[in-house]
Structure 1
Amino acid sequence: MPAKAYRAALLHCLADPREVGEEASYEFFEDGLLVVEDGRIVRIGAADALLGRLSPDTEVTHYPDALITPGFIDTHIHYPQVGVIGSYGTQLLDWLETYTFPAEGRFADAEHAREQARFFLGELLRNGTTTALVFGTVHPQSVDAFFEEALSLNLRMIAGKVLMDRNAPDYLTDTADSGYAESRALIERWHGRGRLHYAVTPRFAPTSTPEQLALAGKLFQEFSGLYMHTHISENRDEVAWVKSLFPERKNYLDVYDHHGLIGARSVFAHGIHLCDDECRRLGETGSAVAFCPTSNLFLGSGLFDLAKLEGHGVRVGLGTDVGGGTSFSQLQSLNEAYKILQLQGQKLDPFKALYLATLGGARALYLEDRIGNLQPGKDADFVVLDYQATPLIARRLAGASSLREKLFALMILGDDRTVKATYAAGNRVHHRAA
């Protein structure tokens, strides 16, 4: 396929501002050009320097009054819970019983799973998210449906069948052996196909017996490049429940550690109530934690301590956690993250925020060699943010005196309306209607 080029303001992260300082952490072109060929980025730079070097058959798409950034990366989300997003009035454990489990029961119907997967991926792309780490349900057909839809769009997605053999409704439980066998079959069918990856997915420690956790750990080690995706320390009652179920383990993380479920490509959602020993262990094993601001506030779970996690060297990504989370938009997630950190005397700089939503998420998933910024050789996954998306955004940006101000305003005021177009592997997969 001939090369294509995209002209707009361009901004992407080169490193974590915490490690290299703000000025060295990003690259920005006020009038930039992004050149794409065969689904990958081949060139990035100032438009006036690159336009003359394009071959005559290169199609140039110009997005005036817009900013191109890497596609957003969601490190924790539940696709079966879309139908219960915005459900009223409970905290985590009651919310699961009241809303989540009944919604997930419907995914025994493969046609329902396909329709939901299609809608879910459309919402991700409408919000500029091009990669996500996704919970299915206990039903293998929920994962088949999700991967079929993601493959048809050539998306880089990670998902897995939920493992639950206790403390859940009968219609949502498997067994240690059946969960292992069904997960293994899904891995052999989908892992590494196109741009898809598989995640071994115990829901959380209370819904798996030690036997199931042991087999999940065995599975995690049996195939190269697998992920492990679960929850940890989201809610104080949950933490106490884990202590009562596993009294022989010294803390919540030790339950997973004992069963071989931590290490590179292990992602633990929430991590609000982790102790220092748990944070230290996560850091030394290269595990990651997904910061899920909107659900943490909505379910009353607590305030995520970013400085504490990063102080122990833990990789941190950003998650929407739909449907406990209240928006697919990573811009809205960053809006809430800013407030959560403000309440603890921490600051979320806009360049750090962009890092968490892009390159930081890629690092949490060990995919920074493929996605996360706009460097040549990376997948051409990017999003076009509209400076004129709403009258309020247009007015605020007109008064902004710096890139920092513009970026912060987009993060606080932006949502799905801000996303003008989304591209995955060089193909436009979403375009906002005028």
Structure 2
Amino acid sequence: MPGMVDTHIHACQYSFAGTALDLPLFQWLNAYKFPAESRFEDLEFACSVYTQVVKRTLKNGTTSACYFATTHTDASLLLGQIANSFGQRALVGKVSVDNAAKDYTETYQESKEETCRFVEELLKKTYPLVRPVVTPGSAMSCSGALLEHLGEIARSKNLHIQSHISEVKEQVKIIKKLFPESESFTDVYHKHCLLTDKTVLAHGCYLSDEELALFRQTGASLSHCPNSNISLRSGMLDVRKVLNHKVKLGLGTDVAGGYSASMLDAVRRTLDTSKVLSIQNPDYHTLTFEEVFRLATLGGSQALSMDDRTGNFEVGKDFDALRVNVAVPGGPIDLFQSDGPKIRLEKFLNLGDDRNIVEVYVAGKKVVPFTEPTDITE
């Protein structure tokens, strides 16, 4: 099957994945996120975490990942090096913030200079499958001046852009106060030239029809992160509504607000969210597993504007693929005589795990099972 695409994952937060899920978003940020991310000034610690998250996601079938790192430039460059060493296709973002929590922010000048250094140095590496992505933490954590500068960097270098949008209702209210001249959260990004056909914004639980129309108009994408939306009690994205607006959409694990780094979990939580919405509204058109399978593969590639190279098996594209054995000895799936290909796929999506993923290929190269790279600390 085609490789899976994680359109939103905080690589740095893998250090506490599976824990710290007892608080809603804003309390969670201050209690867990900011203190954990401050540790990435230590490159030895960063190397340990980033090596493990790249290995874990590859083992679970993530051939392409769009990573948030931290504000630390050298550690962010290290993440790019590690993804390249293991052969993962990756967008890597050094986070830019000048209006975040006290003690966990940069000045405008620091953020401007370090973002430029990160982009220049990562591009200079000329990694075949790893590229920088311009990464404002969110419109809430950046000044208008910094957002404008980041938009200019992305435009001048033709780079991807990633951030967050409309994750919780309170966030939408704060944005209105911070940017009274903008009509909406989406309009803030649009006014600062950060809404392009290479933009992917995570969550979007509270977007209006007008905002979705602006996404469609600009070619920007949404990353649906259902595990995080539920775990941090943020909200539930109506994926059907987004698709009806013809907005590009992929799935994200959003580690560590989402507790699992597996895209199979993102598939399952997407289906669960759709079913909950159909409980609330009996007329709701529930997503099918085939639709969600597409979102985890080609949909993710489209969201990251990589579908010219990957996402399915069209002739001429790179071979990003998983070899799945649904009947692997000791695995989680039991098969019976009448189980045809479609049933096997559905069983894998609902029951499978990394034991079933016996080989992973990125751009035609077998990357799982691993051949340990030797150049990570060079």
TM-score (normalizing by structure 1): 0.80
Q: Counterpart amino acid of 1:201?
A: T
Aligned to 2:291: 352
> Paired residue for 2:217, among 256, 260, 284?
284
Aligned to 2:245: 312
Distance in 1 between residues matched to 2:212 and 2:160, nearest whole Å: 19
Q: CA deviation at 1:196?
A: 1.3
Distance in 2 between residues matched to 1:148 and 1:107, nearest whole Å: 15
Distance in 1 between residues matched to 2:272 and 2:337, nearest whole Å: 23
RMSD: 1.7
Instruction: Trace 1:99-178 onto structure 2 (pairs within 5 A).
Output: 99-170=32-103, 172-178=104-110
Distance in 2 between residues matched to 1:81 and 1:213, nearest whole Å: 24
Instruction: Say whether the 8 Å CA contact 2:72–2:94 is kept in structure 1.
Output: yes
Q: CA deviation at 1:238?
A: 1.5
SS of residue in 2 equivalent to 1:257: helix
Question: Does the alignment pair 1:431 with 2:365?
Answer: no
Q: Counterpart amino acid of 1:411?
A: L
Aligned to 2:201: 268
SS of residue in 2 equivalent to 1:383: strand
Distance in 2 between residues matched to 1:114 and 1:169, nearest whole Å: 26
Q: Deviations over 1:221-260 (max 9, x none)?
A: 1112x01100001111211222222222211111111111
Instruction: Say whether the 8 Å CA contact 1:388–1:394 is kept in structure 2.
Output: yes
Q: Counterpart amino acid of 1:349?
A: T
Q: Counterpart amino acid of 2:96?
A: L
Instruction: Trace 1:21-420 onto structure 2 (pairs within 5 A).
Output: 69-86=1-18, 87-170=20-103, 172-191=104-123, 193-224=127-158, 226-345=159-278, 346-389=285-328, 393-395=332-334, 397-398=335-336, 401-420=339-358
SS of residue in 2 equivalent to 1:417: coil
Q: Pick closer, same or farther for the CA change 1:424–1:326 going to 2, 3 Å.
A: same
Q: CA deviation at 1:319?
A: 0.4
Q: Counterpart amino acid of 1:308?
A: K
Q: Counterpart amino acid of 1:313?
A: K
Q: Deviations over 1:181-231 (max 9, x none)?
A: 22222222223532111111001111111111111111111112x011000
Q: CA deviation at 1:153?
A: 2.4
Question: Which segment drifts farther, 386-395 or 142-151?
Answer: 386-395
SS of residue in 1 equivalent to 2:366: strand
Between structure 1 and structure 2, the one with the greater Rg is 1
Aligned to 1:421: 359
Aligned to 2:373: none
Q: Counterpart amino acid of 1:213?
A: L
Distance in 2 between residues matched to 1:312 and 1:181, nearest whole Å: 38
Question: Which segment drifts farther, 144-153 or 240-249?
Answer: 240-249
Distance in 2 between residues matched to 1:88 and 1:218, nearest whole Å: 36
Instruction: Say whether the 8 Å CA contact 1:175–1:212 is kept in structure 2.
Output: no
Distance in 1 between residues matched to 2:186 and 2:142, nearest whole Å: 14
Q: Deviations over 1:11-62 (max 9, x none)?
A: xxxxxxxxxxxxxxxxxxxxxxxxxxxxxxxxxxxxxxxxxxxxxxxxxxxx
Q: Pick closer, same or farther for the CA change 1:351–1:400 going to 2, 3 Å.
A: farther
Aligned to 2:374: none
Distance in 1 between residues matched to 2:331 and 2:369, nearest whole Å: 21
Aligned to 1:54: none
SS of residue in 1 equivalent to 2:277: coil
How many residues are treated as equivalent by the alignment? 361
Distance in 2 between residues matched to 1:400 and 1:281, nearest whole Å: 47
SS of residue in 2 equivalent to 1:326: coil
Question: Which segment drifts farther, 367-376 or 420-429?
Answer: 420-429
Instruction: Say whether the 8 Å CA contact 1:316–1:361 is kept in structure 2.
Output: yes
Q: CA deviation at 1:81?
A: 0.3
Distance in 1 between residues matched to 2:96 and 2:347, nearest whole Å: 41
Q: Pick closer, same or farther for the CA change 1:194–1:392 going to 2, 3 Å.
A: closer
Instruction: Say whether the 8 Å CA contact 2:326–2:333 is kept in structure 1.
Output: yes
SS of residue in 2 equivalent to 1:398: coil
TM-score (normalizing by structure 2): 0.91
Taking only the aligned residue pairs, the percentage that are identical comes to: 35
Question: Which segment drifts farther, 106-115 or 313-322?
Answer: 106-115
Instruction: Say whether the 8 Å CA contact 1:164–1:203 is kept in structure 2.
Output: yes
Gap regions ≥5 residues in structure 2: 279-284, 371-378
Question: Which segment drifts farther, 380-389 or 290-299?
Answer: 380-389
Q: CA deviation at 1:392?
A: 7.5
Q: CA deviation at 1:391?
A: 6.0
Distance in 2 between residues matched to 1:92 and 1:256, nearest whole Å: 21
Distance in 1 between residues matched to 2:138 and 2:231, nearest whole Å: 20
Q: Which runs of 4+ in 1 moved over 6 A?
A: none
Instruction: Say whether the 8 Å CA contact 2:240–2:287 is kept in structure 1.
Output: no
Gap regions ≥5 residues in structure 1: 1-68
